[in-house]
């Protein structure tokens, strides 16, 4: 049963992260998830200092608030003329440094389990369960990630056309009256919620990897956004299943194995994608040259 819950949780994380990750890849903001994973550190510390409790929910709430602030600052700097990648780098390093300073000043003598919040282990998911009215209703991670996935599906389904136009052509979206800034912050809010909801249970490496790798792989396989989303979820779920069994065979990190499999699928797509694959393009070039030589010999 534990095997099922680990694989199911990995598939849920892949689906929730991949769904919002598709829009991040299209917007060339793929590393925003990595930025959030570092930026939330001061939020965790501040939440602990205010509440005096190491309860994971309170820490995650503080992380979510700082995650949204990080997104706002990145957008603010980008609008001020700073390149988007530089904005991401400045914000996450600055906030991460603030978190380290706060830890060194106020929590030296306290066992503040930051690893639990930031670098959780997916193998422990089946044993961290929730009880409702005396009944065990399943792992906490499944409910947290599942609810964030449900929210993302509802919001993106309701405003699919707006998100699509804003991702491909923000200028056109503004011209037809779509509030581009509103949908940007709405998407970033979903990214922050999805990222933070998964941290404690599965760890930052799995979250950041699933935000970027499956969407980037799907991007190489299709030109249509709806198909890209479907392919992303399929690739993420397949990576979770294969990665788990690879980790079992090698006795290695489950999260690391899942992302390694996803990386392997990306390499295959990069080489053999019908439209973007390196090998396929070389074959097409050879075919064109061969056809040209035949035509010249006939003439």
The answer, yes or no, to whether residue 234 has pLDDT greater than 60, is yes
Rounded to whole angstroms, how far apart are CA atoms 11 and 21? 14
In DSSP notation, 227-291 reads HHHHHHHHHHHHHHHHHHHHHHHHT--HHHHHHHHHHHHHHHHHHH-TTT-HHHHHHHHHHHHHH
Q: How confident is the model at residue 137 (pLDDT cuts 50, 70, 90)?
A: confident
Burial environment of residue 280 by CB neighbours within 10 A (0 to 12, 13 to 18, 19 or more): middle
Q: How confident is the model at residue 150 (pLDDT cuts 50, 70, 90)?
A: very high
Both tokens assigned to 14: 């892949």
At residue 1, the pLDDT reads: 62
Residue range 121-135, pLDDT digits in tens:
787 787 877 777 778
The answer, yes or no, to whether residue 144 has pLDDT greater than 60, is yes
Nearest-10 crossing angle of helices 180-202, 160-168: 100
The predicted model scores a pTM of 0.82
Both tokens assigned to 237: 């779920």
pLDDT-above-90 percentage for the chain: 25
The answer, yes or no, to whether residue 12 has pLDDT greater than 70, is yes
The answer, yes or no, to whether residue 226 has pLDDT greater than 80, is yes
Both tokens assigned to 149: 């996935």
Q: Which segment of 190-194, 232-236, 245-249 scores lowest on mean pLDDT?
A: 190-194
Highest mean pLDDT pick, 68-72, 197-201, 223-227: 223-227
Rounded to whole angstroms, how far apart are CA atoms 102 and 229? 40
Please compute the mean of the pLDDT values over residues 272-284 and round it to a whole number. 77
Average pLDDT, the chain: 82
Rounded to whole angstroms, how far apart are CA atoms 117 and 123? 15
Among the listed residues 155, 154, 131, 158, the one whose alpha carbon sits nearest the alpha carbon of residue 143: 131
Give phi and psi for 108, each to the nearest 5: -60, -40
Give just the sign of the alpha carbon dihedral 6, 122, 128, 154.
negative
Both tokens assigned to 299: 């003439």
DSSP β-bridge partners for residue 135? 132
At residue 15, the pLDDT reads: 93
Q: Which residue has the higher pLDDT, 293 or 213?
A: 213
Highest mean pLDDT pick, 37-51, 62-76, 176-190: 176-190
Please compute the mean of the pLDDT values over residues 98-116 and round it to a whole number. 66
At residue 190, the pLDDT reads: 86
At residue 203, the pLDDT reads: 72
Residue range 19-60, pLDDT digits in tens:
999 998 888 887 777 777 777 778 877 877 787 765 566 777
Q: Assess contact for 215 and 208: CB atoms under 8 A.
A: no
The answer, yes or no, to whether residue 115 has pLDDT greater than 60, is no
Q: Assess contact for 92 and 39: CB atoms under 8 A.
A: yes
Please compute the mean of the pLDDT values over residues 165-192 and round it to a whole number. 86
């Amino acid at each position: 049963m534990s095997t099922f819950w680990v694989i199911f949780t990995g598939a849920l994380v892949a689906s929730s992260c991949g769904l919002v990750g598709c829009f991040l890849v299209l917007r060339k903001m793929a590393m925003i998830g990595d930025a959030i994973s570092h930026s939330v550190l001061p939020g965790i510390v501040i939440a602990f200092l205010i509440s005096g409790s190491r309860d994971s929910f309170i820490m995650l709430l503080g992380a979510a608030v700082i995650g949204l602030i990080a997104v706002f600052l990145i957008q603010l700097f980008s609008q001020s003329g700073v390149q988007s990648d530089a904005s991401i780098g400045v914000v996450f390093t600055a906030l991460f440094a603030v978190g380290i300073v706060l830890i060194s000043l106020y929590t030296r003598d306290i066992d503040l389990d930051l690893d639990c919040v930031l670098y959780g282990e997916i193998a422990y998911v089946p044993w961290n369960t929730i009880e409702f009215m005396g009944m065990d209703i399943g792992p906490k991670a499944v409910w947290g990630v599942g609810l964030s996935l449900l929210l993302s599906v509802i919001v993106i389904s309701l405003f699919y056309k707006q998100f699509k136009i804003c991702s491909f052509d923000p200028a056109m979206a503004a011209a037809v009256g779509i509030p581009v800034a509103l949908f940007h912050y709405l998407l970033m809010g979903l990214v922050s919620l999805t990222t933070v909801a998964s941290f404690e249970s599965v760890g930052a490496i799995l979250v950041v990897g699933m935000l970027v790798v499956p969407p980037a792989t799907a991007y190489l396989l299709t030109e249509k956004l709806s198909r890209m989303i479907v392919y992303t979820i399929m690739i993420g779920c397949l990576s979770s299943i294969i990665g788990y069994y690879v980790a079992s065979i090698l006795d290695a990190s489950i999260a690391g194995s899942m992302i390694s499999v996803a990386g392997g699928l990306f390499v295959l797509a990069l080489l053999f994608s019908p439209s973007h694959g390196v090998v396929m393009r070389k074959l097409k070039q050879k075919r064109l040259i061969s056809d040209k030589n035949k035509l010249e010999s006939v003439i």
